[in-house]
Structure formats: C-alpha cells, structure tokens
Amino acid sequence: MIRDALSKATIYITLSLGGVLMLLPFIWMLLTSFKAGNEVMIMPPVWFPEKFHFENYKEAWEMAPFGRYLFNSITVTVLSTIGELITTILAAYAFSKMNFWGRDVLFAILLGTMMVPGEVLLIPNFVLLSDLGWIDQYEALIIPWTASVFAIFLLRQFFLSVPKDLSYAAKIDGCSDFRFLWTIMVPLAKPALFTIALLKAIGSWNAFLWPLIVTSSKEMRTLPVGLTAFSTEAGTVYELLMAASTMIILPMIILYIILQKYIIQGIAKAGIKG
C-alpha cells in the first residue's frame, strides 16, 4: 500500500512539474504584459506587477494596426476553411461513392503530392501569383489554401464507412446524388467535418511563411506576420511585445479549451501535424 501511494505521488509530482514547465512561458507572458516598464528590465525578476497595467494592451494595439491584422487573420481563416470544406466534401464524395475511369490512379497521384514539402511550391506559386496580380491581395492568402489532399483523404475514409444501402435507399426514393450528399452524408459526417475545419483553422491562423512572402503592405498582414514586424519595431519593450503576443495566443487557447475534445480526437485519429 505504501509503495503504491509512493509511486502514485511520484507520478503526480512528475506530471505536475512537467505541466508547470509547459505553462510557465504563458504565465510569464501574461504577467509581463501587465507590468510597468521599470518592472520588466529588472534582476532578480518580480513575478507580479505592483499594479496591473491594462493600458499596455491599448498602447500595443495602437502602435501597430493590430485591428487590421486581426481582421485579415479572421477573414483568411474563415474563408479558406469554408473553401476547403466545400472542395473536400465534393471530392471525397466522388472518391468514395462514385465509380469512374482513372479514379484509383488519380487518388494515388493526389496522395503522392502529400510527400512534397510545401517549401518546394513557394517559388512557382509566388511567380504564378505575381502573374495573376494577386500578390498582396486576399486572393493570394486564401485561394491556394482552399483544397487539401489530406482533408479529402480523411473525409473519404469517413464516407467509405457509411453503408451503401443508405444511398440505394435514397436513390430508390428518387433522391439525386447531389441532394443525397448534402442532406444525408454531410450531416452524418459532422464530427469528421468539424475536426477537418478545426485543424484547418488552427493551421491557417498560425500560418507564417506564406503570408510573409505574399504580403508586402502593412494592410495585408495577418497577425503572425504583423507580430514579427511589430517585434522589430517595438524591439525591447517587452511588456508591449508580451501584450501583443497575448492577443494572438489567448484566443487560440480559449478556443482550444472549449473544443479540445474534437481537436485531440482528430489528431489522435489522423496522426498529423496541425
């Protein structure tokens, strides 16, 4: 009994210690964001600010067009997620419930593209978007990201698990393929679609290299790009930098805590990087 209790205690202590290490950077960020300038650059560090300076957030918000960045991030995330859902639903349906010439070859080619690292695509896409005149436009931030082989693959697996009898029954009742897809398959696939949408939204919200390359004006930056630009401008004013970081990180953490069931299940099932 004593040995069991001891090993239990060791487990709890180890896990708690690790958990604290995971959270500490965020706590430190949050605490720093409320400090006065002279409480930041100080050794030994003080943990809690004497007074909570909420105005740091206002000041950071006004130093850079964070409102605009936020608007851009939301627009890009929402539209590319909706776009991906639509293309994915249609394509996954064709791959799972239809028989057509070249289906398996086409599917294999698409899966093959998943092996190619995104960095290979950067330059040709940049040239292409320049030719289209889309550089520094929403089109460049959204349209290339409205289809994903990985999402098609995931949803196809789900659609395959739906019994065929369902579609036969619907067809006998005179339901068209298209109506069957949207009124029966899509509602059935809600959990899978929700996972796909969430993973997409996280990826899109956090995306950095692509928005960095295709935006040139301040007005088109997304939050991560805007934050790096701000970090060069604000330099060592760490309380403002931390306030700005908090503004990006906190919404994601809150969203994650509310929806974690779907996110973690999705990742455990799909085994992918978000």
C-beta of 209: minimal distance to other proteins in Å? 6
Cα 152 to Cα 89: distance, rounded to the nearest angstrom: 7
Residue 91 engages other proteins in binding (rule: CB under 8 A)? yes
Q: Note whether 42 binds other proteins by CB under 8 A.
A: yes
Q: Does 160 bind other proteins (CB under 8 A)?
A: no
Using CB under 8 A as the binding rule, the residues of this chain from 46 to 75 that contact other proteins are none
4 binds other proteins (CB under 8 A): no
Of 68 and 146, CB closest to other proteins: 146
- Residue 258 binds other proteins, judged by CB under 8 A: no
The residue with tokens 């398996």 is 104
- Least Å distance, CB 241 to other proteins, is 6
Q: Counting contacts by CB under 8 A, is residue 175 touching other proteins?
A: no
End-to-end CA distance of the chain: 43
Minimum separation from the CB atom of position 190 to other proteins (A):
20
Using the rule CB under 8 A, is 2 a contact of other proteins?
no
To other proteins, the closest distance from the beta carbon of 187 in angstroms equals 18
Distance in Å, CB of 94 to other proteins, minimum? 4
Query: Distance between CA 119 and CA 134 in Å, rounded?
Result: 19
- Please count the other Cβ atoms lying within 10 Å of the Cβ belonging to residue 176: 10
Contact 241, 170 (CB under 8 A): no
The least distance separating other proteins from the CB of residue 7, rounded to whole angstroms, comes to 9
57, 66, 69, 93: which one binds other proteins (CB under 8 A) = 93
Among positions 186-245, residues that touch other proteins (CB under 8 A) are: 202, 205-206, 208-209, 212-213, 223-225, 227-228, 231-232, 238, 241-242, 245
Tokens 């639509």 found at: 86
Query: Judged by CB under 8 A, which of 49, 139, 177, 186 binds other proteins?
Result: 177
Of 33, 92, 93, nearest in space to 61 by CA: 33
Q: In angstroms, give the least distance from the CB of 109 to other proteins.
A: 8
Pick the closer one to other proteins by CB: 28 or 54.
Answer: 28
Nearest residue to 110 via CA among 158, 147, 82? 147
Three-state secondary-structure class, residue 224: helix
CA dist., res. 271 & res. 274, Å (int):
9
Helix segments in 34-145, DSSP class H: 37-40, 55-63, 66-97, 103-113, 119-132, 138-142
DSSP code of residue 52: -
